[in-house]
Chain A
């Protein structure tokens, strides 16, 4: 009788220990997952974004994605016949570069046109003169732009307006790539400035 009761007690204590161990293990695992997610270390599907390209910068020089290797970069797509989101994003990125201070040298920022027939390198140069000079504007042939848009999974389409004119629908997300060329995070203009700043700081700090 007495032995039975002791055994039952030991069993209870052991099961209790198992429960505690499971709890601690689970918490540790969750913590690691959250940390990984916070660091953007394993963004789902990251490998499917990006790729090598060759375009022309606002000074008319060939720009190869090879020159991005080893440094994190931010890339977004737009066009200069854009009344709202493109100048706003360029202005926000200019402010971010200023806020990063000397750290900004560890970051490349690319603005790629989705409207190469109107956005020649000369047009991009003029337009970008209102923003941080470190922002690189890129244009190219229709085929080159289509290729890079596909690699970055960008949606872009012409929309007819009056007088045979047109405007563009396009993905407005800013994509952040780490120094190894893997997608680390994205910025949305609907996020507040603090959130965007924190993501950029982390990108630059992690390299």
Chain B
């Protein structure tokens, strides 16, 4: 009679431990790929760009930014070691027409908001490339915010035409950390 509750207690403990481990937040992205920065209430996750075709004068840059602070901030610019200028653009597709718009006032990030700069959407425009980024060789740069100031970052370099930073040849859907991702199409 005495041992039974003990066993049950142990079993419950074991279950709780397993549940707690399962409930732990998964790493932001596979450890080999992930890099990020935190500065003045901003979380900057995995800035990246991709290889451009020879002779390309522009490249797109991508990053996910979360405002963990209490003030609204704006991403207003920055620089990229291989380009003359950085602008912030929004791309849209309507009725088969691709449209580009420069965001003159920058990109607003409200407290608690996460803004994703990604292919087909908001992106950094590196204008006047002096050289093409090389796959696997990170490029130094900065991201400039209206309130948080300028932050040093490194842009990871993905292959030509990659649709996301984990989109490598043969593993387009990324690693095993995406089970909770409801934004996936297919």
A83 with B123: CB separation less than 8 A = yes
A127 with B93: CB separation less than 8 A = no
Q: Which residue of B lies closest to A170 (CB)?
A: B98
Residues of B within 8 A of A168 (CB): 100
* Alpha-carbon distance A82/B58, docked complex (angstroms): 7
Give 24 A-B contacts (CB < 8 Å), ordered by A residue: A80-B53, A80-B56, A80-B57, A81-B57, A83-B125, A84-B119, A84-B120, A85-B93, A87-B52, A130-B53, A131-B53, A159-B101, A161-B87, A161-B89, A161-B125, A161-B127, A163-B85, A163-B127, A165-B127, A167-B100, A168-B100, A171-B98, A172-B93, A192-B186
Instruction: Encode contact with A along B54-90: 1 for CB under 8 Å, 0 otherwise.
Output: 1111111000000000000000000000000101010
Instruction: Encode contact with B along A50-80: 1 for CB under 8 Å, 0 otherwise.
Output: 0000000000000000000000000000001
With A87-B56, A168-B100, A172-B98 given, name 6 new contacts (CB 8 A): A88-B161, A126-B53, A159-B99, A171-B96, A173-B96, A188-B96
A155 with B120: CB separation less than 8 A = no
Interface size on A, residues (CB 8 A): 36
Given contacts A83-B123, A88-B163, A190-B93, contact A127 B98 (CB under 8 A): no
**Other-chain contact of B55, A80, A85, A162 (Cβ < 8 Å):** A80
B96 with A169: CB separation less than 8 A = no
Q: Which positions 159-207 of chain A face chain B at CB distance < 8 Å?
A: 159, 161-163, 165, 167-173, 186, 188, 190, 192
A172 with B96: CB separation less than 8 A = yes
Question: Which chain A residues have a beta carbon within 8 Å of chain B's beta carbons?
Answer: 80-85, 87-88, 90-92, 118, 123, 126-131, 155, 159, 161-163, 165, 167-173, 186, 188, 190, 192
